[in-house]
Amino acid sequence: MRQRFGIAQALITNPKLLIVDEPTAGLDPGERNRFYNLLSEVGEQVIIILSTHIVEDVMDLCTRMAIINTGRVLYEGAPDQAIAQLEGRIWKRTIDKSSLAEYQQRYKIVSNKLVGGRPFLHVYSEAHLDSGFAPSAPDLEDVFFAKINDWV
């Protein structure tokens, strides 16, 4: 309700530009969807700059995006174009915890998260990876890490 009130308050003066910072943080899925609809409707009449680390917000709301790291713009363009740049370059695999250090030395690990107590890796490679890796459809999280590591 506070986010919606803040948007309503900002719109009273009919602005041409609206800047929102982490607008969906802390919202449950239903409220997040309602807020997406509100921002989408407002975005038809007003330019909205969205600052967020939630990649679903970017995919659902933005036609253009930028990745900025330490003051440098690393990417500017459409989210789907950024994802297309990684097509065929992201590989996935689950490994044993004891093997993680070895994989970190051998591969460009985009992300590593524990799934069922085991590291689930996304790896960047322009060459086909064998030995248990499967191709993975890239997403904006992969784009973010590949860009900040200067792999693309």
Mean pLDDT for each 10-residue chunk of the chain (152 residues)?
Answer: 71 84 82 83 85 84 90 95 96 96 95 95 93 93 93 88
Cβ atoms of 89 and 108 within 8 Å: the answer is no
Residue 62: per-residue pLDDT? 87
CA–CA dist 94, 15 (Å, integer): 49
Contacts of residue 113, Cβ cutoff 8 Å, sequence gap at least 6:
119, 120
Over residues 61-102, the pLDDT tens digits come to: 888 999 999 999 999 999 999 999 999 999 999 999 999 999
What local confidence, expressed as pLDDT, does residue 134 receive? 96
Query: Is the Cα torsion angle 111, 112, 113, 119 positive or negative in sign?
Result: positive
d(CA 120, CA 96): 9
Which pLDDT value is given to residue 4?
Answer: 66
| Amino acid 45: pLDDT | 86
Q: Centre a 10 Å sphere on the Cβ of residue 139 and count the other Cβ atoms it contains.
A: 19
Q: DSSP letters along 5-62, please?
A: HHHHHHHTT--SEEEEESTTTT--HHHHHHHHHHHHHHHTTSEEEEE-S-HHHHHHH-
pLDDT for res 22: 82
